[in-house]
Amino acid sequence: MERHTQDESKLNIKNIMFEDVEIQWGIDNWIFEHPAMGRVRVDTYSIWNPANWKIIAQRLASGEMCAMYVAGTYGVGQIMESPEWIEDEEVKDSVMLSEIKKRPPQLNLLTFMDPDDQIEVIDVDKLPKTFKNHRWTQIRQSSYAFAEHHIYPLKQNGTVHPSLFRKNDQTIGCFWIKGHFGFQGIADEVRRMVKHGNFGGGSLNIHQQMPCFTTAQLKEQLPKNPDWLKRISFVILDELLENAEIDRSQPIVSFTSDNAKLLREGSLSRQEIQEVTGIEIVGDETTESASSTTPYDEIHNRIIDGRILSVQKQIERYWHFLKEKKLV
């Protein structure tokens, strides 16, 4: 099963090394032989090659689904059409929920959205008084410490795919990674190409099972899950964050009441998020825990916080490296 084939002359693989991390510079692919689907090819791109951002955005804009490394685990992403543009019932019902995650439809996905753009989906009139200032872009930007999901009241304008918001309380989850210029680059390209719909997704796992924490795990799991192999046509690698060994999904913070509430603990600890953002965040017995290869305790939280701080600085150095080498 061949999909979206690239010009073979462009598949000139040449990796680069940065601080002992090997980064795939060209376009590569994985080939799987499946008994029912035959030969299946899945292209791979590094998020750290700026030349890949436009290609990735073009493939997303054409309706393709990707697996992507997202600050600790692999996720799955696709452009989710605005309801008024949906004609295909399959798109309306969300293949991502039914076939990839095999998850009940009432359990929503999330948007991958630049804080600059989040105003399009946030109902600012329903923001609690404490967080009325989140109507301003700069405040939303500064409320992210690293990679988090932020929950807001949903603007009732009919432009968000039904799978991307919680129907019982009409809220939407907005995911972002602060300081990740690769993620920013893809978001900027998607914005230029997609005039209706949102980049949405979630963790790449079957409901209530652990996600893939490494590229090796993903490559092993793809042929074992025929629906994944059928639907996922390319993979976005993130060698810097994978090398950091965060190995946790991300925290969820809600801004829908007078107190910011930690709905789910994850990669960056609540204490570190508070220190970076200056926002007091309340956790209680209802706070859940994201998928993780390590326990949520003080010692391990400090270790993961340290790894995140370290890789954030490494990303800054990598940006300067690209500029010095005139690769951006």
Instruction: Give residue 90's pLDDT.
Output: 45
Task: For residues 65 and 31, give the distance between their C-alpha atoms in angstroms, rounded to a whole number.
Answer: 17
Q: Which of 224, 227, 283 is nearest to 253 (CA)?
A: 283
Exposure string (b/e) for 69-91, b if CB count within 10 Å is 16 or more? bbbbbbbbbbbbbbeeebeeeeb
> How far, in Å, CA of 170 to CA of 255, rounded?
13
pLDDT band at 208 (very low <50, low <70, confident <90, very high): confident
The DSSP code for 141 is: H
Reported as a single tens digit per residue, the pLDDT across 120-169 is 999 999 999 999 999 999 999 999 999 999 999 999 876 777 777 787 88
Distance CA 122, CA 116 (A): 11
Q: What is the DSSP string of 167-200?
A: TTTTEEEEEEETT-HHHHHHHHHHHHH-SSSEEE
pLDDT at residue number 328: 79
Higher pLDDT, 248 or 87: 248
How would you classify the pairing of strands 252-254 and 147-153? parallel
The per-residue pLDDT for 50 is 96
Domain ranges of the chain: 8-324
33: burial class by Cβ within 10 Å (0-12, 13-18, 19+)? exposed
Supply 127's token pair: 């923001």
Within 8 A by CB and 6+ apart from 244, the residues are 307, 308, 310, 311, 314
Could you report the per-residue pLDDT of 252-282, keeping only the tens digit for each? 999 999 999 999 999 999 999 999 999 999 9
| pLDDT exceeds 90 at position 204 | no
Predicted pLDDT of residue 85: 46
DSSP code at position 285: T
35-41: list long-range contacts, CB under 8 Å, 24+ apart.
36/226, 37/1, 37/226, 37/229, 37/230, 38/1, 39/1, 39/2, 40/1, 40/3, 40/229, 41/1, 41/2, 41/3, 41/5
Nearest-angstrom CA–CA distance, 229 and 95: 13
Range with lowest mean pLDDT among 85-99, 197-211, 216-230, 246-260: 85-99
Q: pLDDT confidence of 95, banded at 50, 70, 90?
A: low
pLDDT at 10 over 60: no
For residue 311, pLDDT over 90 is answered with: yes
Residue 262: strand, helix, or coil: strand
CATH placement of domain 8-324 = 3.90.870.10
Burial class (CB in 10 A: 0-12, 13-18, 19+), 192: exposed
Are residues 174 and 150 in contact, defined by beta-carbon separation less than 8 angstroms?
Answer: yes
pLDDT of 11 higher than 50: no
DSSP letter, residue 154: B
Higher pLDDT, 319 or 198: 319
Distance CA 305, CA 272 (A): 7
